[in-house]
């Protein structure tokens, strides 16, 4: 953190030292409740659950009690969770029956001072030391997971370089030797390709089989989806218009011979470093090499088991406050579908995805709408949620995206939460499969404010801190995003056709505002992204277009490609005003594109009053407005009115010191 922001945070932190993030958020939602229910891991489901002295034990039983009361609500209904771990055997599933009625809320909240954890994991015990420093323990029969946590720290699946030279073929690889042909559980091995199909991607494909001579046949559909992306002949480039057609091909045109993996993952034979683990699924045994200071006879080890913690559809007037959602996995990347990324966690899936999915009229048999690729799921997932709030919650130790508010999310609030240690995207809003949505299908009027999103996209490194698809009247304000391998905020979609002089995918996005966010230490691994990345149409005029104002962005780490505020393909009618951008090796703002509607000029952008170290020159030509910006050589030249107002507001500064409940 820069000295400007550390000083501000420290001053506020002293004033709030006695408060936890949970108490701060709870104060924001201090709604009077006329009815209360009580839950505790030490309770009993035979209890009435109407007093703290006789709570029910499970969330499922509490849900039954809520449903029995929602039809006759005369005030808010409060469900208080005592501290401790609520270990789920199956996802908690909600629908309209769980909604508040009569203008009142159902409030699922931590009890005063409590730290409840909603967990999809199972404890792993009975560790024994084997040869060297490798320890092992039994796991429940049939357990499959991609993550393991030791004393709350994410362990690393065993990985390393291939022990032989691999030469690309249409179906996989030939090998210079047969070493891998003798490895155990060869069908569980995964090949990882950092910057595999574009500098912004990381592809993961499972191995199908390895012959005795080392010949590798890769799993389908991932291999075809990552190596045969349809080339439109008259364009001599991919019909998806996003990037290359195969692994390792630096350009969009056909050709190239493919590449070997950056590294090999999930192989017992590569288990050789402290902090690495391996799950032998047939043997129902997990292996682990402890880090320095870890005692496996006393360590708390958790393996995520569930893929979903909370799933809700058509939920209304519900508040989730002070809850921690932890220990869930996501298994699709372990199948032959793999993780054939196209951008920001969206992937190509299906047996013919490489030549049809989202290609619409650009390919024979293409599915519409254009750009409707497969969204990365979240471990907490809601669709058609209205007036739902997440306040003071923690999303941590998760194996997919953290929280997804999908299509039809309206008037929802995500405020004062922490998102960290998440495999994929931190927070997702909207989607890209309904660009012309109307009425209840639209994502509209949502607020994402005062959240700390950091150290996410830990496994799927092309993920982003905050991903917004098609949405309108969205407010993204006063968040802090930091320590990210790729882009911090990505908003908008469907603009790539402008590469061929074609209009972007029409969509309903308008009146979205990104203001007063603090973004730093991002793009630490991948390239061609930014602190704020936006593309596609976001309005029909400057009055209805996207507003990017008052944000402070610094320390973009990549050395090539991208921009601090990145207006990519099809981005138009975007106002970028009063921001501060510094300590980056790439340009502060860019780039612009030809206006495909008229065929002349540029997609309109209004860029004014920014403070930057690498900004563009003033211009009033070709639809661009660039004026009254301020070149700087030091962050001390930025007005305090911008610096002091960026990032978490004072009431939420305690989030910077948040730690997960154990």
Mean pLDDT of the chain: 94
Residue 290 has pLDDT above 80, yes or no: yes
Percent of the chain past pLDDT 70, that is, above it, reads 93
* pTM score: 0.95
Residue 256 has pLDDT above 70, yes or no: no
- What pLDDT score was predicted for residue 212? 97
What is the tens place of the pLDDT at every residue in 339-383?
999 999 999 999 999 999 999 999 999 999 999 999 999 999 999
What is the tens place of the pLDDT at every residue in 613-634?
988 888 888 889 999 999 999 9
Q: For the residues 656-661, what does the mean pLDDT come to?
A: 98
Residue 13 has pLDDT above 50, yes or no: no
Residue 103 has pLDDT above 60, yes or no: yes
Give the least confident one: 423-432, 459-468, 556-565, 643-652: 556-565
- What pLDDT score was predicted for residue 539? 96
The 611-612 sheet, strands edge to edge: 84-87, 116-119, 324-326, 394-398, 418-422, 452-454, 480-482, 518-522, 552-556, 580-584, 611-612, 630-631
Residue 255 has pLDDT above 70, yes or no: no
Residues 485, 486, 492: CA angle, nearest 5 degrees: 150
**Pairwise pLDDT comparison (488 vs 3), residue with the higher score:** 488
Strands 285-288 and 276-280: antiparallel
Eight-class DSSP state of 216: E
HEC string for 280-329: ECCCCEEEECCCCCCCCCCCCEEEECCCCCEEEECCEEEEEECCEEECEC
HEC string for 372-387: CCECCCEEEEEECCEE
Q: What is the DSSP string of 383-429?
A: ES-EEEEEES-EEEEESSEEEEE-TT-BS-EEES-EEEEESS-SEEE
- What pLDDT score was predicted for residue 25? 41
- What pLDDT score was predicted for residue 171? 96
- What pLDDT score was predicted for residue 600? 56
- What pLDDT score was predicted for residue 594? 73
What is the tens place of the pLDDT at every residue in 130-174?
999 999 999 999 999 999 999 999 999 999 999 999 999 999 999
- What pLDDT score was predicted for residue 18? 31
Q: For the residues 203-215, what does the mean pLDDT come to?
A: 98
The alpha carbon of residue 593 and the mean position of all alpha carbons in its chain are separated, in whole angstroms, by: 28
Phi, psi of 478 (to 5 degrees): 60, 30
What is the tens place of the pLDDT at every residue in 457-488?
999 999 999 999 999 999 999 999 999 999 99
Residue 439 burial class via C-beta count within 10 angstroms: exposed 0-12, middle 13-18, buried 19 and up: exposed
Residue 217 burial class via C-beta count within 10 angstroms: exposed 0-12, middle 13-18, buried 19 and up: middle
- What pLDDT score was predicted for residue 349? 98
Work out the pLDDT band at 249, boundaries 50, 70, 90. Answer: confident
Residue 296 has pLDDT above 60, yes or no: yes
- What pLDDT score was predicted for residue 8? 45
Q: For the residues 315-337, what does the mean pLDDT come to?
A: 99
Task: Give the C-alpha separation, 327 to 335, whole Å.
Answer: 20
What is the tens place of the pLDDT at every residue in 379-430?
999 999 999 999 999 999 999 999 999 999 999 999 999 999 999 999 999 9
- What pLDDT score was predicted for residue 599? 58
Work out the pLDDT band at 597, boundaries 50, 70, 90. Answer: low
Four-residue CA torsion sign, 59, 120, 399, 325: positive
Inter-residue contact 158 to 278 (CB < 8 Å) = yes
Inter-residue contact 628 to 608 (CB < 8 Å) = yes
């Amino acid at each position: 953190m820069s000295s400007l922001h550390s000083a501000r945070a420290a001053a506020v932190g002293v004033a709030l030292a006695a408060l936890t993030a949970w108490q701060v958020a709870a104060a924001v939602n201090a709604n009077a409740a006329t009815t209360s229910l009580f839950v505790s891991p030490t309770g009993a489901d035979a209890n009435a659950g109407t007093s703290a002295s006789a709570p029910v034990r499970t969330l499922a039983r509490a849900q039954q009690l809520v449903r029995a009361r929602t039809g006759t609500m005369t005030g808010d209904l409060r469900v208080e969770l005592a501290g401790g771990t609520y270990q789920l055997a199956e996802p908690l599933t909600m629908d309209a029956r769980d909604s508040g009625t009569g203008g009142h809320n159902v409030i699922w909240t931590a009890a005063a001072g409590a730290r409840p954890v909603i967990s999809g994991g199972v404890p792993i015990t009975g560790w024994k030391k084997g040869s060297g420093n490798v320890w092992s323990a039994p796991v429940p029969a049939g357990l499959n997971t991609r993550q393991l946590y030791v004393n709350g720290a994410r362990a690393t699946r065993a990985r390393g370089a291939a022990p032989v030279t691999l030469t690309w073929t249409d179906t996989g690889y030939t090998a210079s030797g047969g070493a891998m042909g003798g490895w155990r559980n060869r069908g569980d091995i995964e090949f990882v390709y950092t910057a595999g199909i574009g500098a912004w991607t990381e592809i993961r494909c499972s191995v199908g089989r390895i012959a005795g001579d080392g010949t590798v046949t890769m799993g389908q559909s991932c291999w075809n989806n990552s190596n045969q992306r349809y080339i439109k002949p008259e364009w001599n480039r991919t019909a998806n218009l996003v990037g290359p057609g195969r692994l390792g091909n630096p350009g969009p045109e056909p050709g190239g011979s493919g590449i070997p993996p950056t590294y090999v993952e999930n192989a017992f034979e590569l288990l050789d470093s402290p902090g690495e683990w391996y799950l032998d699924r047939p043997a129902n045994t997990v292996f682990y090499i402890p880090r320095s200071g870890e005692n496996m006879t006393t360590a708390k080890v958790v393996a995520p088991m569930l893929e979903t913690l909370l799933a809700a559809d058509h939920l209304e007037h519900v508040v989730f406050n002070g809850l921690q959602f932890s220990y869930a996995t996501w298994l699709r990347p372990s199948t032959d579908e793999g993780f054939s990324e196209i951008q920001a966690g969206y992937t190509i899936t299906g047996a013919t995805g490489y030549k049809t999915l989202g290609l619409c009229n650009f390919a024979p048999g293409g599915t519409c709408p254009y750009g409707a690729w497969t969204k990365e799921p979240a471990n907490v997932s809601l669709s058609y949620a209205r007036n739902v709030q997440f306040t003071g919650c923690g999303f941590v130790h998760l194996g997919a995206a953290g929280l997804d508010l999908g299509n039809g999310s309206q008037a929802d609030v995500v405020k004062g939460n922490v998102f960290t240690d998440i495999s994929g995207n931190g927070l997702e809003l909207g989607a890209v499969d309904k660009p012309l949505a109307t009425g209840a299908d639209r994502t509209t009027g949502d607020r994402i404010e005062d959240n700390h999103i950091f150290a996410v996209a830990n496994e799927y490194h092309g993920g982003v801190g905050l991903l917004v698809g098609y949405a309108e009247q969205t407010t993204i304000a006063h968040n802090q995003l930091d320590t990210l391998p790729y882009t911090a905020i990505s908003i908008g979609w469907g603009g790539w056709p402008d590469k061929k002089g074609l209009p972007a995918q029409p969509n309903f996005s308008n009146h979205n505002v990104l203001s007063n966010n603090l973004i730093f230490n991002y793009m630490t691994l991948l390239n061609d992204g930014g602190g704020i990345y936006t593309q596609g149409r976001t309005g029909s005029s400057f009055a209805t277009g996207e507003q990017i104002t008052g944000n402070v962005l610094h320390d973009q780490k990549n050395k090539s490609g991208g921009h601090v505020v990145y207006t990519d393909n099809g981005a138009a009618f975007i106002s970028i005003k009063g921001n501060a951008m510094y300590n980056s090796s790439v340009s502060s703002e860019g780039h612009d594109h030809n206006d495909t509607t008229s065929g002349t000029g540029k997609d309109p952008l209004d860029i004014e009053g920014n403070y930057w170290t690498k900004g563009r020159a003033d211009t009033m030509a070709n639809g661009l407005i660039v004026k009254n910006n301020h070149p700087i050589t030091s962050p001390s030249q930025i007005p305090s009115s911008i610096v002091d107002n960026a990032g978490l507001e004072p009431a939420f500064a305690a989030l910077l010191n948040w730690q997960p409940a154990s």
